[in-house]
Amino acid sequence: MVRFKIGQVTATRVEEMTDRSFLFKDFFRLCTDADIAANIGWMAPGHYEAATGRLLLSMHSWLVDTGKVKILIDSCIGNDKERPGRPDWCDLQTPFVERLAAAGVRPEDIDYVLCTHLHADHVGWNTRRVDGRWVPTFPNARYVFGRKEYGFWQAKFATDANNHHMASYRDSVLPVVESGQMLLVDDYAEIADCLVVAPTPGHTPGHVALWLTSGGESAVFTGDMIHHPIQLKHPSWNCFGCMDQGESAATRKRVLAEVVEREATLLPAHFLAPFGGRLKREGEAYWWADRD
């Protein structure tokens, strides 16, 4: 179990799965064969599957324990979900709840579920199927969505309910709205006296990161502001799915610079080992402060 200590707060990685569904050069369209060759020494085998040309992404949540409240940040893909266009995400049967228990909490212990945005791989465990119905996995939690992000997908659902993104909205967002557990927040809202909801638009219009401050230390849970450590080397690279390519790159460069300036811990949603850490600047690029 991977844990980071930030002041008096503990952040524990709760794994769902490793995803191999994307070809590296399809995911990062600015990437060339020369770029892969220049980085293969650190990318393979932990972050890149050389035999297939696929990138490796971790699907995990961050469990934040303040000593008073327990918070789950991003809730992965979920079990039993149908995801058009994403066969590797369909009908999963992972022991995510058991891994959560190994981290020390039951679903009913979670006080907040914070979603950086509402894509399928960040909302899936919001719900689970019980007797043929989708019900909130965390019965005592408030599910926190950014107001801009929720408004965007709510409007899209109203006008394009058959869009492939709407499957996760239907089975993993609407049930917590209908249960009365949703909490909409504006940019810079504070949660549990230690987390600030910071706008990081580009990947989606209302995407947010979550800045944690405790005991004079800080960390940022980035969601899909960054997907893979190659983007530390190439901050201008966006994934193919970023809705505003220019804004996404500008946001990433801004946040990475702030991480270094604040000597903060970067805690991404999809990095494999080392999963997170502090950064150092190398010209226009970044790398782990404690690694070559």
Q: What is the pLDDT of residue 161?
A: 85
Position of tokens 């500008």?
A: 250
Kindly state which CATH superfamily the domain 3-288 is placed in: Ribonuclease Z/Hydroxyacylglutathione hydrolase-like (3.60.15.10)
CB-based contacts of 283-287 (< 8 A; 24+ apart in sequence): 284/235, 285/232, 285/233, 285/234, 285/235, 286/232, 286/233, 286/235, 286/256, 286/259, 286/260, 287/232, 287/233
Spatial neighbors of 106 by CB under 8 A, at least 6 apart, are: 100
Alpha carbons 238 and 202: distance in angstroms, whole number: 9
The Cβ-side half-sphere exposure at 242, using a 13 Å CA radius, reads: 26
- Asked if residue 226 lies in contact with residue 57, where contact means CB atoms within 8 angstroms, the answer is no
Exposure pattern of 77-95 as b/e (b: 16+ CB <10 Å)? bbbebebeebeebeebebe
| Cβ count within 10 A of residue 137 | 27
Residue 142's H or E segment, with its range, is strand 142-146
Question: Is the peptide bond between 45 and the residue preceding it cis, with omega within 30 degrees of 0?
Answer: yes
Q: What is the pLDDT of residue 292?
A: 61
- Asked if residue 14 lies in contact with residue 99, where contact means CB atoms within 8 angstroms, the answer is yes
Burial class (CB in 10 A: 0-12, 13-18, 19+), 240: exposed
Q: What is the pLDDT of residue 163?
A: 85
Q: pLDDT (tens digit, 0 to 9) for every residue of the chain, 292 residues total?
A: 899 999 999 999 999 999 999 999 999 999 999 999 999 999 999 999 999 999 999 999 999 999 999 999 999 999 999 998 899 999 999 999 999 999 999 999 999 999 999 999 999 999 999 999 999 999 999 999 999 999 999 999 999 888 888 999 999 999 999 999 999 999 999 999 999 999 999 999 999 999 999 999 999 999 999 999 999 999 999 999 999 999 999 999 999 999 999 999 999 999 999 999 999 999 999 999 987 6
Q: What is the pLDDT of residue 160?
A: 87
Q: What is the pLDDT of residue 193?
A: 94
Name the pTM for this structure. 0.97
Give me 246's structure tokens.
């220019």
Alpha carbons 79 and 94: distance in angstroms, whole number: 7
